[in-house]
Chain A
Amino acid sequence: MLDVIWLIPAFPLAGFLLILLFGRRLGEPKSGYLASAMVLASFVVSVGAYFDLLSMDSHERAHIETLFSWVPVSSLQIDMAFLADPLSITMCLFVTGIGFLIHLFAVGYMHGDPNFSKFFLYLNLFVLSMTILVLGENLLVTFLGWEGVGTCSYLLISFWHQRESAATAGKKAFVTNRVGDWGFMLAMFLGFEAVGSVSYHALNGAAEAGSLATSTATGIALLLFVGAVGKSAQLPLYIWLPDAMEGPTPVSALIHAATMVTAGVFLMTRMNPMLAAAAPEASTIIAVVGALTALFAATIAVAQTDIKKVLAYSTVSQLGYMFLAVGSGAFVAAIFHMVTHAFFKALMFLGSGSVIHGMHHEQDMRKMGALRKLMPITAATFIVGWLAIAGVPPFAGFWSKDEILLFALAKGGTWGPILYVVGLVTAVLTAFYMTRQVIMVFFGEAKWESHANAAEAPEGEDEMTHGAHGEFKPHESPPIMLFPLVVLAGLAAVGGLIQLPAFGFIPDGWQHKLEHWLEPVVEAGEAHIAGTSAYDNKELLALLAIACALIGIGVAVAIYAKKLVKPVEPQLLADGWKYDSGVSAFMGGPGRKAFEAIAWFDKNVVDGAVHGVAKLVGGAGGQIRKTQTGNVRNYAGIVGVGVVLLLAWFVIGRGVL
């Protein structure tokens, strides 16, 4: 399978082209099934590639498949080439696997949308871009996918562009991402200047061989991190992700939770030798940004009322954990958390989609409640996701989060303990806000009965399935939407199995499976923490983490279920610390004024000067003309004057001739 690794992107490409040509004829639901089938085919190829790699000796597990020479100009030779190794295949497996489930879900969710085929056109284009991103053999192929997913993200966020907020959110996502892309591009330029190549093999090879100056390695690593900050929605560029929830919910699940936003984490992991060769401050900066983002976004999530906004801020926060892992040298843990997060966050986004679908496009959690009775499967699967993200063992999120915290503490120095505590506090908050959400949506009393009129749905939707107006009853979603939920719930429950820690009671053969698998890719950058006091006390730390999760859950239950304490939800937190609105106010205020000033300058000063000179010359010409009998044509006149002036200058001034 390895030499046909290009089939992984080829199937969604075929799907894209087929829907482009025949989408309107295929219509609903055929184009949806076609798109899903293509992603499933990619998944099958990924599985085949996985077993191929598995059958090889662990240090030979890297296969490069070159398609053609892409950008060749003298010393710069960039191939359109794919790299199949444990990291890229891990990414492909979960991107196509989860991608397939979300495609299926979308067939149900997008039912009745007038642009049903177009939606799947974009969705397949996205999977194409995402697989190119992870399979890239060099930074430029990855960048092709990177910008491709960004473009798809733009197209899909503004899918319901008739709503101005959706159109604006799409534009905001693209432009903010481009700020990060600026860093990504400069990293490529710096890498090429230093190494003469942008291939991972050459760049990482130079970093491992120590032939890169520390300053260069630091520059490349941090510039790539700038790109990652944009794509993976970290401080200070996260602002586009909450707005991205304007897109249809399957998009939020696929792009803005499970796959695209993890691209930054993938990139840093791919380049881990570079980070290892960089100054240690680079890693610390990444860890601090990650931890700060995790905490910051979690504080905002506790006060959100929109069901998807909670999940969006939660995603920002969880991505922060992943960067905390990257900065702590825990690349395996970063990928581990990326995978488990993809399971439970995709699950919860789809679950929220199911709720929104059942609630006739109501997203305000204050108008929900008690939905578990009417949507039992959605509720049950959502609860699995909740337990996973809250860090309750044995669900998947517990294991991956625990490992990140362990590495953060083991990082030591001044920052290690601080980062660890920030991580723990965030864990409490995470358990808290997720519990709050589960209670508000699925438990308590039903608040939707008093809100019989649902918020206006995007046109064309649901008119068939829901009867006369006035009658409002939330309903469970159709099987095609529930099936992905059930599968993802299963994965979110047992996903931790891929990387169990070396706890005494866990059999040897079950421990650190992902670590062994990824070892050839991350051995240069992975921190070695065995022997640190944190590692020796890892069981104790795990218990502490469980305690934190239970505290968070307990407090939330006390406040929102038992109503022992009145909830405190400061407006400042609901407004996201006013950061986003501050940025918008700056852009719309002084920023716009500055732009207008430049436009004014251009019109009145630069062009004004031209017109001034023209008037002057025109006036003088008029004077001269009066003294002449003939009519001097402009052409000859100007040429003549110019020639004389310049020749005089040359002869007199410069002494030439």
Chain B
Amino acid sequence: MNGEALDFPILSMLVFMPVAGAVIITLLSKRRPEYMKLVAAVSSVATGAMSIWLTAEFNGHESGFQFVSKHSWIEQWGISWHLGVDGISLFLILLTGVLFPLAILGIDPHNDDPAKNKPYLAWLLLLEAGVMGSFMSLDLFLFFVFFEIVLVPMYFLIGGWGYEGRVQAATKFFLYTMIGSAFMLVSIMATVFIASRNGVGHVTFDLVEIAEHAEFAASTGRWLFFGFAVAFAVKVPIFPLHTWLPDAHTQAPTAGSVVLAGVMLKLGTYGLLRFGLYLFPEASLWSRHLWLSLAVIGIIYGAIAATMQKDLKRLVAYSSVAHLGFIVLGIFAVTSQSITGAVMQMVNHGVSTGALFLLVGMIYERRHTRQIADLKGIQSVAPIFAAAFMIVMLSSIGVPGLNGFVGEYLILIGSFMSARWYVVVASTGVILAALYLLWAYQRVFHGEPDEANKTFAELKLKEAAVLLPFIAVIVFAGVYPKPILERIEPAVDALITHVEDKTGYESPQPAAVATISEEGE
């Protein structure tokens, strides 16, 4: 079935449903916290259900945008409410839709005060709307609005419900990403007006129109791209712009960390694809060696920094720097496998790292510490908890049969054809990933538990219920990734064709197998 003919504005609903939830919660009386939770649950679960429905109805054979919803907004400037979904954004939307109800229902804010629940839940729902909107916007202005909206709830979530250094971390997060956004805003304005004179013919913020018709002079395109790139590079984060991340992750409440790692970082990599490669193919290719270098540095550097962390949450945060490096590598290697792998890895990282943050949050709830040195021998007292951690860890390490491997493998095998020596170095990241995670696991879970850890509680039913969906995805996507890959690939191939058409670049293909099949017969 073709989504475009659909009457039900599913994409708009994905944005409005959490907004409605946030508004209702704000209007509710402070004395009825149970209603707040109920409203948050209903709106986030409904959003999640719609995202699942969207995935099921998505036409996997089509490369263009589906379920498009377009309404003129500020007509004289060519700004419209323009939403659409393709294979690149589909699973990020699904991930957002599923992750939020789990974070809202499964995790209680750690300094729990029922009165403070109200803004907490409202901010989370508003955050969801912002993330959803960012992944679906096909209008530059609209995208910028959503991209910025995301910052505000995150700032308050870290600042209001975080840990000891929360205020500083929140401020750093906010300022850092704001500065990046400032660059992007300028670029958006300039892009729109330059495009209107060069190929598009009128002032419009429509992403597709600009990408298809605008003819930027090479140097102009590079400057415009630069503005976007800075914003996304901070968001990813790409080395050396990454230092806000460990602070924000460590200080954020568990739900904040899960969402931050799960979907927010992907705004950066998604942006690089949608507003980098798609909008400025020439500039992206021109600068690709810079990106590839920074990606590889991030992989190695993030892993090494992760190895030496003393705080478990910080360790996971640095592992994100390494993992996101793989994704950036895949994007700028520009092959069908590498970009498809990168898109899948965005989802995988969200699942695996999201689950790791959940588990670290559970450890903190029990022991009120995140210091690796304070933890010991947990496997002896909580074997099921340890087993859950083990599976998630193996997924993060990239053990085949689990989700993380498929994405990483596709990124590397695809990138090898266009960026061979980068891959040779990047692949050593898989050794380091094993090193930092297994070492951490050994220190936290192995050995005889000391007095403080002897009473470490086993996984509770509610916790297991939250973790189970993560583990199910980890196993399913590792064993049978085909349903995911075949929905991503058409959009990626269309993107590569677009890049090739615009620049004359040829994405490398493996040598044909024809000679062998002739011999074989």
Contacts and interface: CB of A to CB of B under 8 A. Distances in A.
B430 A181 contact: yes
A201 B519 CA distance: 12
Contact of B301 (A162, A190, A598, A641): A598
B185 interface: yes
Contacts of B178: 634-635, 638-639
A186 B431 contact: no
A564 interface: no
A161 interface: yes
A606 to B, nearest CB: 5
B482 interface: yes
A69 B340 CA distance: 16
A22 interface: no
A162 B442 CA distance: 10
Most buried by B among A185, A596, A609: A185
Contacts of B227: 646
A189 B416 contact: yes
A209 B431 contact: no
A650 B485 CA distance: 41
B510 A189 contact: no
Interface in B151-201: 172, 174-176, 178-179, 181-183, 185-187, 189-190, 193-194
Interface string A586-611: 00000000011011001000110110
B378 to A, nearest CB: 11
A595 B442 contact: no
A182 B399 contact: no
B416 A171 contact: no
A547 to B, nearest CB: 45
Contacts of B340: 73-74
B379 A639 contact: no
A303 B495 CA distance: 63
Contacts of A164: 446-447
Given A148-B400, A639-B185, A174 B510 contact: no
Interface stretch (A191-199, A311-319, A414-422, A460-468): A191-199
A179 B178 CA distance: 41
Contact of A69 (B242, B447, B482): B482
B394 A194 contact: no
Interface in A199-226: 201-202, 205-206, 208-209, 211
Interface in A607-653: 607, 609-610, 614, 634-635, 638-639, 641-643, 646-647, 650
Contacts of B480: 68, 70
Interface stretch (B8-16, B89-97, B345-353, B404-412): B404-412
Contact of B485 (A71, A140, A178, A599): A71
B452 interface: no
Given A68-B480, A162-B380, A599-B304, A189 B413 contact: yes
Given A147-B399, A178-B431, A657 B193 contact: yes
Given A75-B336, A171-B442, A647 B515 contact: no
Contacts of B520: 201, 205
Interface string A40-76: 0000000000000000000000000000111111111
For chain A, what secondary structure do more than half of its interface residues adopt (helix, strand, loop), or is it mixed?
A: helix
B308 A74 contact: no
A305 interface: no
B512 A196 contact: yes
B248 to A, nearest CB: 12
Interface in B375-409: 377, 379-380, 383, 394, 399-401, 405-406, 409
Interface stretch (B58-66, B252-260, B420-428): B420-428
A151 interface: yes
A71 B406 contact: yes
Contact of B190 (A69, A154, A595, A650): A650
B219 interface: yes
B215 interface: no
A456 to B, nearest CB: 13
A72 B486 contact: yes
A84 to B, nearest CB: 18
Contact of A195 (B399, B410, B446, B510): B510
Given A162-B380, A175-B438, A656 B519 contact: no
A579 to B, nearest CB: 20
Given A73-B337, A654-B220, A185 B183 contact: no
A36 B379 CA distance: 26
A144 B515 CA distance: 28
Contacts of B301: 598, 602
A211 B515 contact: yes
B513 interface: yes
B448 A174 contact: no
Contacts of B377: 162
Given A71-B406, A639-B185, 10 more contacts: A71-B410, A74-B340, A76-B337, A161-B379, A178-B430, A185-B427, A599-B308, A606-B242, A634-B175, A639-B181
12 contacts: A70-B480, A71-B481, A75-B336, A171-B438, A171-B442, A174-B438, A178-B434, A598-B305, A599-B304, A607-B243, A610-B172, A639-B178
